[in-house]
Structure 1
């Protein structure tokens, strides 16, 4: 069975006490408009850059992670695990994995514009 996925966004994870300064820095560095997501206030969208990016408030140390969106969560998680990713946690429909080398990535249902996903997602299987 086939499924589709694509890189959705680069997330800049920052501790809460650094959020305002990090937002100002990354918005200016990327030439992006910053806006707190009304339905997910831990996220600040950084719109207008070349790469979709967002800032996420976290507990712990600053880091980066990638979000992948897919039309089949189970198939995409299985594909990435077969490539060597290890499960870390799950939050609602978001599967957090750790890639070889230690980097985090999240696999989530299609979260962006559906037409854009249809036009740009890679077909697997």
Structure 2
């Protein structure tokens, strides 16, 4: 048995546009942009979306959106999502990058939010 929840919505932005995208989303949403120490490719927007973290991620790829799912068991959550039709694309640190049916990316990562215990769904 394990638990998981949607943790964050990421606005993946080509590296050359990340600074402009961050300024745009900060102004558009009316919230400050905060770089994440130790993770220079991420800039978060605390309080922009109720119940989710929102961030711009600088990427060496096309612009897109993706979801992060946090879990207390990365292997079990990855297996659950693969059984539902996702495919594993790659790994980065402790995260698994998956592609859902329809082509959208999502990441499965270890639980880190202070909302995890209260909001996670329990899976058999």
Give the TM bin, normalised by the shorter chain. over 0.9
Could you say which residue in structure 1 is the equivalent of 2:88?
A: 87
**Structure 2 unmatched ranges of 5 or more:** none
- Superposed displacement of residue 39, structure 1: 1.2
TM-score, length basis structure 2: 0.95
Structure 1: tracts of 5 or more residues without a match: none
Superposition RMSD in Å: 0.9
- Aligned-partner Cα distance in 2 for 1:30–1:111: 24
Are 1:13 and 1:62, in contact at CA under 8 Å, matched by a contact in 2? yes
Q: Number of paired residues? A: 122
Runs of 4+ in structure 1 displaced over 3 angstroms? none
Q: Does residue 122 of structure 1 match 2:121?
A: yes
- Following superposition, the deviation at residue 53 of structure 1 comes to 0.4
- Secondary structure in 1 aligned to 2:34? strand
Aligned to 1:111, the other structure's residue is in SS state coil
**SS of alignment partner, residue 12 of structure 1:** strand
